[in-house]
Structure 1
Amino acid sequence: MKDATSRYIFIWALLGLLLISQAAAAKAPEEFDTTEDTGFYYTIQKGDTLWDLSQKFYNSQWEWPGLWEMNKEIKNPHWIYPGKKIRIYLKSDKTQQLRSIETPEKPAASETPSQPAPIITPTFNYPAVNRIGFIRDKKVDTLGSIIREKDGNVMMSANDIIYIKPAGPEHFILGERYQVFTTEEVKQRIGNKTYRGVKHLIKADFTVMEVNDKYVVGKIGNSYRDATVGDSIMAYYHRDPKLEVQDHPPAIDAVLLGSEDNALMVNDYSIAFINKGTKDNIVPGQIYSVMQSQDKRSVFDGEDAVLLAPLNSGKLIVLHTEDISSTVMILSSKRDIHPGDMVN
């Protein structure tokens, strides 16, 4: 009888341990799925952003563009979803590719230095810089336009064969790359003046496969937006993805013109434009604050209304400059950012 009782106690104790271990496993979801020594998979949690994950795993929020580049399944860096997994690289050569902000190591101190230590300048790497649009005072010279896709597709994207009507056959060189773009007018009231310009949106790039007197044949490589018949062609404009960061640039008094996609609100990582450019000594890599003006209001009951100080809405970095504008990216936002907000 005593042996039977002991066996029952042992069985119930074993069942209890199994139930406790299962409950603990259910309570603590697995966030890290270790693979090879090059890194691991991280399960996205509610509230995560690429900006925050870069700070968490690389000790720098500036790493997020490289993190996005290495996880090509993320189509829009502003939208990452709980439960999905992304790869975090650690020990391979890809780690170096991820380094969006690079701070060179200080040289070893010598007992008798012969020259001053070099100034260390952080850099920001944005791999997608060649796809961003820009605003000029007039449309760029058009080399030609798309007249059709080989199979008659209305929307054209990567690997499609396109036919182009050239403005002149001398404009196209076999094997060279070109860009497909479209334009729209920008008109915005700023103070007592009206800002005017032409927004250029890059849709794709292609390589010339054949040049004839009447048409040019090309194959689309990178596709950022669907190309259509009538879209214009311009020379491929290569921009350096590595920018020297200037966190405290000279003061400016600029206005946010809006985003590439004309959204009513400009979100984190969105590409947008401001109304100042090279004529105002703006260069890529400069970081500015986005400010939101407040209405006049009474601070205390019964007193006259006063204009309160602007609210800091977030930060942006300059990616590209033209004479009358700059293309920027919103790095972070504390509140909703809208076209017309101040930049300084």
Structure 2
Amino acid sequence: MRYPLVAALLAFSSAFPAIADVLTIKKDAPKQYVVKKGDTLWDISGVYLDEPWQWPDLWQMNPQIANPHLIYPGDALTLIYDKDGNPRLVKNARYKKLSPEGRITPKGKNAVPTLPLELLRPYLSYEQAISAEIIADKPYILGASVNTKMNTLGHTLYVKGDLHLNEAYGVYRKGNDLVDPKTNEVLANKAELVAIVRSFRSGDVANGVPASVKVELVKQEIKPHDFLMPAMEGQMLPAYFTMKRPETALDGTIIASANEMREFSTMDIVVLNLGSDQVKPGFVLDIQRQSPEVYDGRNGPRYREDSNSLEKFMTDANELFGIESDEDSSVWHMPKEKVGELMVFKVYDNVSYALIVKNQHPIRVGDYAVIN
């Protein structure tokens, strides 16, 4: 009888419920690693893991330090395995030992971060996603103290809006629409920072008096109708990101990129049609790409672009009306395949910005950002 074997397999699987969750360490991973200047937790985890975003699991048991973000050049890390067989990175006490105060007191600005945040900072500072309605309510540039359509450093500008005296403002330019490919709905508008100004007259719109600002920093020439927001609005950056997989399924799409290129790669920034009700900063999602359809007809399997017009028409018509075809071509819808991973780092109401952390192929607008 096979029942005893089945029972034994069930007993075995219930006795080891966490086997599937054990981290897989690279075959060439070193038993000890000495932290170098410029290292990040992401870099170090990548030495040991194919999936560096899983670094919190690798650092779970670390008796030397309460916060794995506070490791420093010269610290030695040792790969060990706990009683359940899970790999862990710990600080080698024999090499360098921290005092109890050292475990809770930051050592300045040289601690190893989770990710190289300088890669994110330009995008957090220079680009935002704002609805057209909100942009329409913002103060905007009317003109300048000199008769020019493009203004630059040192110019005095006049603004339609009531500003706070002596406050710094970011001057933004409305960019492309961010459109949901499924609904064609405009989710937000890109807004690019072009300058920093400081107000020295507050203005009074009700009585037709413009506010006055002095240009303090310029990225691009400032144009009439560029709009203003407080300089720190939307610029908050967490010290580090707690990277994790979402617990619920998600199905989003890459709808734009920060560099406006057709293809992009690791450490490039993309925009998703997933908002604050679906994702949070630190969420790691898979990037998937739809495999091409195949027409299988009298002339054998061919991709859609290689099929003739009649085959495309007949197949599309059959699918539209639910007709099963024997003689004409039939279409095969292929599955999506994983081509990379990304981490969400900035979230708005309807869209979010994400950093590509891994890719096997060039990533494109239209690729999917999912958790199954």
For the superposition of Structure 1 and Structure 2, which TM-score range results when normalised by the shorter chain? 0.5 to 0.7
The separation in 2 between residues aligned to 1:200 and 1:149, in whole angstroms, is: 29
The 3 A distance-change label for structure 1 pair 196 and 150 is same
- 2:185 aligns to what? 195
Structure 2 vs 1, CA of residues 246 and 100 (structure 1 numbering), >3 Å: closer, same or farther? closer
- CA 1:132/1:153 → structure 2, altered by over 3 Å: closer, same or farther? same
| 2:140 maps to 1:144 | yes
Amino acid of the structure 1 residue aligned with 2:185: Y
**1:123-202 matches, cutoff 5 A:** 126-128=120-122, 129-136=124-131, 138-140=133-135, 141-145=137-141, 147-148=143-144, 154=150, 156=152, 160-168=153-161, 171-186=162-177, 188=179, 190-191=181-182, 193-202=183-192
Contact 1:179 1:233 in 2 (8 A): yes
Contact 2:252–2:274 (Cα < 8 Å) also in 1: yes
Structure 1: gaps of 5 or more residues: 1-38, 43-49, 63-88, 103-122
- Residue number in structure 2 paired with 1:340: 366
Cα distance in 2 between the residues matched to 1:302 and 1:268 = 38
SS of 2:363's equivalent in the other structure is coil
Indicate the SS of the match to 2:222: coil
- Give the letter for the 1:317 counterpart: M
Structure 1 CA distance, aligned partners of 2:339 and 2:192?
Answer: 28
In the alignment, structure 1 residue 217 sits paired with structure 2 residue 213: yes
Q: Deviations over 1:173-195 (max 9, x none)?
A: 2332211111134264624x313
| Matching residue within 313, 326, 341 for 2:339 | 313
Alpha-carbon spacing, 1:235–1:251, altered in 2? closer, same or farther (3 Å):
same
Alpha carbons of structure 1 residues 217 and 227: separation in structure 2 relative to 1, 3 Å: same
Q: Using the alignment, how far apart are the partners of 1:315 and 1:149 within structure 2?
A: 50
1:317–1:150 CA distance, 2 compared to 1 (3 A):
farther
Task: For residue 125 of structure 1, report the CA deviation from its aligned partner.
Answer: 9.1
Where 2:185 maps in the other structure, the secondary structure is: strand
Describe the superposition over 1:73-132 as per-residue Cα deviations: whole angstroms up to 9, x where unpaired: xxxxxxxxxxxxxxxx94684422x52359xxxxxxxxxxxxxxxxxxxx9994442333
Amino acid at match of 2:261: A
Shift in CA distance, 278/145, structure 1 to aligned 2, threshold 3 Å = same
Distance 1:100 1:163 in 2: 42
The aligned amino acid for 2:129 is F
Distance 1:252 1:315, change over 3 A: same
Query: How big is each residue's C-alpha offset from its partner over 1:233-273, in whole Å with a ceiling of 9 and x where there is no partner?
Result: 12231433225324211321111111134322233322221
TM-score (norm 1): 0.57
Of 287, 292, 296, the residue aligned with 2:289 is 292
CA contact (8 A) 2:195 2:222 kept: no
Deviation at 1:324, TM superposition (A): 1.4
Q: Given the superposition, is the C-alpha separation of residues 52 and 265 from structure 1 closer, same or farther in structure 2, using an over 3 Å criterion? A: farther
Structure 1 residue 165: Cα displacement: 2.4
**Contact 2:141–2:227 (8 Å) recurs in 1:** yes
Aligned-pair identity in percent equals: 13
User: Does structure 2 retain, via aligned residues, the 8 Å contact 1:246–1:287?
Assistant: yes
- Distance in 2, Cα, partners of 1:173 & 1:247: 40
Work out whether residues 150 and 161 of structure 1, in 8 Å CA contact, stay in contact via their aligned partners in 2. Answer: no
- Alpha-carbon distance change, 296 to 180 in structure 1, aligned in 2, over 3 angstroms: same
- The DSSP-based 3-state class of the residue aligned with 2:110 is helix
- What's the secondary structure of 1:203's corresponding residue? strand
Q: Secondary structure at the match of 1:138?
A: helix
Q: For residues 38-58 of structure 1, what are the alpha-carbon distances to aligned partners after superposition, in whole Å with 9 as ceiling and x for unaligned?
A: x87x9xxxxxxx999944999
Q: Which residues in structure 2 correspond to 1:12-161 (within 5 Å)?
A: 54-55=43-44, 90=73, 93-96=108-111, 98-101=112-115, 126-128=120-122, 129-136=124-131, 138-140=133-135, 141-145=137-141, 147-148=143-144, 154=150, 156=152, 160-161=153-154
The Cα of 1:137 is off from its aligned counterpart by: 5.7
- Name the count of aligned residue pairs: 242
Report what 1:267 is aligned to. 265
Unaligned runs of 5+ in 2: 1-35, 54-71, 75-106, 204-209, 302-329
The amino acid of 2:286's aligned partner reads S
